[in-house]
Amino acid sequence: CLPPVIDKDVLLMTDGHAAYRAFAREAGISHQAVNLRAGIRVQGAAHVQNVNAYHSRLRGWLRIFHGVASRYLPNYLGWRWILDAGRIRSPETLLKATLGEFPHLTVT
């Protein structure tokens, strides 16, 4: 389900697991692996620790919902994106975004 929504110019940064390499090849996207076993977590401007930290925050936050149906995952990811970046700082702003009063912050 990912290839149709991934831009072809994206760079997939992962640990060295073979499944990521195979996915990138099949999806026709660039892939770069970092060697976590050797303690390498950074390559240039990108590093896998950002992804790991985000994943940890997302999992911890989703735990309070006792699971999420896959079809609603984009909504929860959007909600988390808004919370992480501090885009919405009050219940009033969240309600307005939900109602579409702030098109650039609309929660889908």
Same domain, yes or no: 76 and 49:
no
Domains in the chain: how many in total?
2
Give me the torsion for CA of 67, 70, 72, 78, rounded to 10°: 90
Task: Choose the final residue of a domain: 67, 84, 100.
Answer: 67
Same domain, yes or no: 63 and 77:
no
CA-CA distance, 22 to 45, in Å (whole number)? 24
Q: What is the pTM of this model?
A: 0.53
Same domain, yes or no: 53 and 97:
no
Q: For 54-103, how does the pLDDT look when each residue is reduced to its tens digit (9 = 90+)?
A: 888 888 988 988 888 888 888 888 888 888 877 778 888 877 777 776 55
Q: Which domain holds residue 9?
A: 1-67
Model pLDDT, residue 77: 84
Tokens of 53: 């930290």
The three-class DSSP label of residue 44 is: coil
